A and B are shown apart, each in its own frame.
Chain A
Amino acid sequence: DTAVSQTPKYLVTQMGNDKSIKCEQNLGHDTMYWYKQDSKKFLKIMFSYNNKELIINETVPNRFSPKSPDKAHLNLHINSLELGDSAVYFCASSQGYRSGETQYFGPGTRLLVL
């Protein structure tokens, strides 16, 4: 059983389109995250939710909107895609959001905007 899963694994789309990436965890965790890994492999946190409530909201364009329908799911919707959005997006989860809680990562979604 995959602990943290993401769909789709690959996403190729045109500039200006709207797309969503889905994330699900079956670990029973309360906290979920979205990270962006750019072409230089630099990883940066975007958002964090705990029990469907927004905890961390980094400086991210408002074209990115996370949605957590329940604590096992955290989806990422991106409006008006731009070339610079091309990256690998990782979802992660942890038991809670106390400092130091181990984060478990999904396999990533590779987004290419043409």
Chain B
Amino acid sequence: AQSVTQPDIHITVSEGASLELRCNYSYGATPYLFWYVQSPGQGLQLLLKYFSGDTLVQGIKGFEAEFKRSQSSFNLRKPSVHWSDAAEYFCAVGQTGGGNKLTFGTGTQLKVEL
């Protein structure tokens, strides 16, 4: 069965610093991978997704993620964090067998210090 691990429950960074959120997945085939962001009291918003092709994926709000098959990872990065990036970040893997079922990680809460 597919699974997603986000090893960091909480991360604190200073505004302007770089950010990397880790995501490891377990899936037998080539996965569909997603990063979503959830601001306090809000729904989830898609940041970016990977299907195939270029392993470096660009998303909204200046985020990018790199798919590394050898490490089963799909880490999210941003070169310079803004205070408004404080939120919960979820990595998810989609199965390829139809039904578009997403399996989410447990999330990483990002705090930004001014």
Contact = CB atoms under 8 A, between A and B. Distances in A.
20 contacts: A4-B43, A43-B107, A48-B99, A92-B44, A94-B100, A97-B100, A98-B100, A99-B32, A99-B94, A99-B96, A100-B49, A100-B51, A100-B94, A100-B96, A103-B46, A105-B45, A106-B43, A107-B41, A108-B41, A108-B42
B100 A41 contact: no
Contact of B100 (A44, A90, A99, A106): A99
Nearest to B104: A43
Nearest to A9: B41
Contact of A48 (B90, B101, B107): B101
Contacts of B104: 42-44
Interface residues of B, number: 26
B42 A107 contact: yes
A94 B106 CA distance: 22
Contact of B95 (A40, A94, A99, A104): A99
Interface of A: 4, 31, 40-45, 48, 55-56, 90, 92, 94, 96-108
Given A41-B106, A43-B90, A105-B36, 17 more contacts: A4-B43, A31-B100, A41-B107, A43-B104, A44-B104, A45-B101, A48-B100, A55-B99, A99-B32, A99-B94, A99-B96, A100-B94, A103-B102, A104-B46, A105-B44, A105-B45, A107-B41
A102 B46 contact: yes
Contacts of A105: 36, 43-45
B97 interface: yes
B98 to A, nearest CB: 6
B100 A107 contact: no
Of B42, B44, B46, chain A has the most CB atoms within 10 Å of the CB of: B44
